[in-house]
A and B are shown apart, each in its own frame.
Chain A
């Protein structure tokens, strides 16, 4: 009964490959996100989707393409992987709580290593 799940947990791949990371939430939330946490542990938002509509796209290279087939899923496809893409990618989902305040719940992360 994991709330936000991601697959795979670890991903090791060669430069130039294309890979996908999947995310699913069973919380009934309307909004889902992708974050990147780099080697310095700095966590930065990449994308958000609300009801399958792209809301935030934060100057991410267009090699990264999010896809939301339905409200419960937000996948991330990465083309032509580069060394600098190595990071931990977190999926999150959120609901609007009291006073319009968002509470975000994070998945366990996908550790991507590009060789």
Chain B
């Protein structure tokens, strides 16, 4: 079983749609959680951290359920510029730096 598993993609949605990505992780000792975004031929960039209480950043809402080891990302009113690969990421360490474990990514394509 992969340490971090995401919905297989790609997701093709029209502009303005709401889209949800799901992710599960296998190690209950995981320390912190993130969504990264990676554009084609570019480096991953942090989209948002994910907290147990849930958190929102504009059109993006992230949720974490530690009991079921589940992470989600909701994008509302999707824009063409949201087209990218979304990476669910789990950090296994707390001190002396992190050990990020990446999911395989879910590709999103937003069409006009």
Contacts and interface: CB of A to CB of B under 8 A. Distances in A.
B104 A41 contact: yes
Contact of B95 (A43, A90, A100, A104): A100
A54 to B, nearest CB: 11
A42 B97 contact: no
Interface string B37-54: 000001111100100000
Interface residues of B, number: 23
Interface in A33-59: 33, 40-45, 48, 50, 55-56
A25 interface: no
Interface in A66-101: 90, 94, 96, 100-101
A42 B104 contact: yes
A104 B46 contact: yes
**Residue among B42, B43, B44, B46 having the largest count of chain A Cβ atoms under 10 Å:** B43
Interface residues of A, number: 26
B45 to A, nearest CB: 7
B43 A90 contact: yes
Given A41-B85, A42-B104, A43-B87, A31 B43 contact: no
Interface of B: 31-32, 42-46, 49, 85, 87, 91, 93-102, 104-105
Interface of A: 30-31, 33, 40-45, 48, 50, 55-56, 90, 94, 96, 100-109
26 contacts: A30-B97, A31-B98, A33-B97, A42-B102, A42-B104, A42-B105, A43-B105, A45-B101, A48-B97, A50-B96, A50-B97, A55-B96, A55-B97, A56-B97, A94-B97, A94-B98, A96-B95, A102-B32, A102-B93, A102-B100, A106-B43, A106-B44, A107-B43, A108-B43, A109-B42, A109-B43
Closest 9 CB pairs of A and B: A31-B97, A102-B98, A106-B43, A43-B102, A50-B96, A101-B32, A50-B97, A48-B97, A55-B96
